[in-house]
Copies of this chain bind each other. A is one copy, B any other.
């Protein structure tokens, strides 16, 4: 069950510094977002956990960071120049434009006017490289990171001496000039993907497909998303992209309803074969063991970083009543929380307390984000940290000066432990367990 509306999340995100509208002082730009001081930590933590699970914890995946600008032949080969388009109609009355698949046979919904014949509108952003007249060429901002992996297949294979099955993992920005945007960061024109292309022997693709569907579902659960808010939905034949043999969406129960968080597709050998054809390069894999040459099949778990961040925020959002007051807190997994520990001096005008609190902060910061906050009363400071999901608050009070102990407060249970100040570092290392 999800008990929060998107506007509450958007409001918290702006107020606390998770997510701001891009160039807001100029009225924004339409479905582009900036990650503020807390948002950048949360997003980086999501990407770091993904990278760890995909690259560091495994023995069969290489990483990659390919550029956003690519030779435009890439998008001819991939089919994006031809097919990555929405069918649009214009209303001859009000002059507005609509996606025909969303009109569902209706007339122009606003003015009832007559519609033009549908025209294809490509979703790729285009720009020009080069400065010499007659020698500039059109290039696209990549609409998916996946192609950066396919065009590097040969280079990665050669330099890493990999054998099938193996994968290539990548996170990075992609861009789509969407007609229909909205739902906060859910559908943005600039967004970040985390994609794995896992190359397998043809015939072993179904087995690996099942493996990755389960593995990716497990990943979200392992980072705290409640199982009842996740479901798998298999694409029907008519929904499949031109390159896909099968596709499952991992859907999350967003406030606006079940929506795609990640897609796992069996892309077959489509992309590598297309690139081999258009580039003229040999992109076969030579199988030492059998002496066969073939084009690998590809299983692709493709997640949206922004959607994952939004889902983690939505799922972690909790409201409860404590002593007749409303308490809002984010029950984020400790590994995802933007700030791990807040050190709070109970009296900011008492130099010994301030000094002790600074010493504690200095002792634990460096490996993760620790804040020191003395700008409000302790009740308000706790509420702030609750609302941004900080797992632990360490409070230094007058008694600390005599007994050398501090209060450690747990975000979820609100239980308070009194521990030796000298033990704070070990306590956090043990409790946060960030490895």
Let me know if B156 and A37 touch, CB within 8 A. Answer: yes
Contact with B along A62-87 (1 / 0, CB 8 A): 11111111110110000000000010
Let me know if A71 and B40 touch, CB within 8 A. Answer: no
Let me know if B37 and A159 touch, CB within 8 A. Answer: yes
Q: Which residues of B contact A65 (CB under 8 A)?
A: 34-35, 39-40, 43-44
Let me know if A20 and B96 touch, CB within 8 A. Answer: no
User: A323: CB under 8 A from chain B?
Assistant: no
A131: contacting residue among B29, B179, B190, B279, CB under 8 A: B179
User: A41: CB under 8 A from chain B?
Assistant: yes
Q: Which residues of B contact A88 (CB under 8 A)?
A: 131
**Complex formed: what's the CA distance from A190 to B69 in Å?**
7
A160: contacting residue among B17, B86, B132, B161, CB under 8 A: B17
Q: Which residues of B contact A134 (CB under 8 A)?
A: 95
A126: contacting residue among B39, B71, B127, CB under 8 A: B127
Let me know if A129 and B56 touch, CB within 8 A. Answer: no
Let me know if A66 and B129 touch, CB within 8 A. Answer: no
Let me know if A70 and B126 touch, CB within 8 A. Answer: no
Q: Which residues of B contact A86 (CB under 8 A)?
A: 131
Stretch binding the partner chain, chosen from A103-111, A146-154, A247-255:
A146-154
**Complex formed: what's the CA distance from A256 to B22 in Å?**
39
Let me know if A366 and B57 touch, CB within 8 A. Answer: yes
Stretch binding the partner chain, chosen from A199-207, A261-269, A367-375, A389-397:
A367-375
Let me know if B24 and A155 touch, CB within 8 A. Answer: yes
Q: A63-B37, A159-B36, A177-B130 are in contact. Are A20 and B190 (CB under 8 A)?
A: no
Let me know if B22 and A69 touch, CB within 8 A. Answer: yes
Q: Which residues of B contact A2 (CB under 8 A)?
A: none
User: A141: CB under 8 A from chain B?
Assistant: yes
Let me know if B25 and A154 touch, CB within 8 A. Answer: yes
**Complex formed: what's the CA distance from A239 to B168 in Å?**
44
Assembly stoichiometry (copies): 2
User: A121: CB under 8 A from chain B?
Assistant: yes
Let me know if A74 and B130 touch, CB within 8 A. Answer: no
**Complex formed: what's the CA distance from A73 to B29 in Å?**
10
Q: A33-B67, A69-B189, A69-B190 are in contact. Are A56 and B365 (CB under 8 A)?
A: yes
* Chain B nearest Cβ from A349, distance in angstroms: 15
Let me know if A64 and B52 touch, CB within 8 A. Answer: no
Q: A35-B64, A40-B64 are in contact. Are A131 and B121 (CB under 8 A)?
A: yes
A29: contacting residue among B32, B70, B141, CB under 8 A: B70
Q: A63-B41, A65-B39, A435-B366 are in contact. Are A23 and B71 (CB under 8 A)?
A: yes
**Complex formed: what's the CA distance from A154 to B34 in Å?**
13
**Complex formed: what's the CA distance from A380 to B386 in Å?**
54
User: A325: CB under 8 A from chain B?
Assistant: no
A55: contacting residue among B16, B131, B369, CB under 8 A: B369
* Chain B nearest Cβ from A392, distance in angstroms: 16
Q: Which residues of B contact A40 (CB under 8 A)?
A: 63-65, 170
Q: A36-B152, A366-B435 are in contact. Are A129 and B177 (CB under 8 A)?
A: yes
**Complex formed: what's the CA distance from A69 to B71 in Å?**
21
* Chain B nearest Cβ from A305, distance in angstroms: 10
User: A30: CB under 8 A from chain B?
Assistant: yes
Let me know if B57 and A22 touch, CB within 8 A. Answer: no
Interface contacts beyond A22-B69, A37-B160: sample of 17 additional A-B pairs, CB < 8 Å, sorted by A: A15-B159, A23-B70, A24-B151, A25-B151, A25-B281, A29-B70, A35-B65, A36-B152, A36-B159, A37-B156, A56-B365, A57-B366, A59-B365, A59-B372, A127-B127, A129-B177, A161-B375
Query: A residues touching B (Cβ–Cβ < 8 Å)?
Result: 14-17, 20, 22-30, 32-37, 39-41, 43-44, 52, 55-57, 59, 62-71, 73-74, 86, 88, 90, 95-97, 121, 125-134, 139, 141, 148, 151-152, 154-156, 159-161, 168, 170, 173, 175, 177, 179, 189-190, 275, 278-279, 281, 283, 361, 365-370, 372, 375, 435
- 8 tightest CB-CB pairs across the interface, nearest first? A17-B159, A23-B71, A26-B71, A37-B62, A35-B65, A34-B66, A40-B65, A25-B279
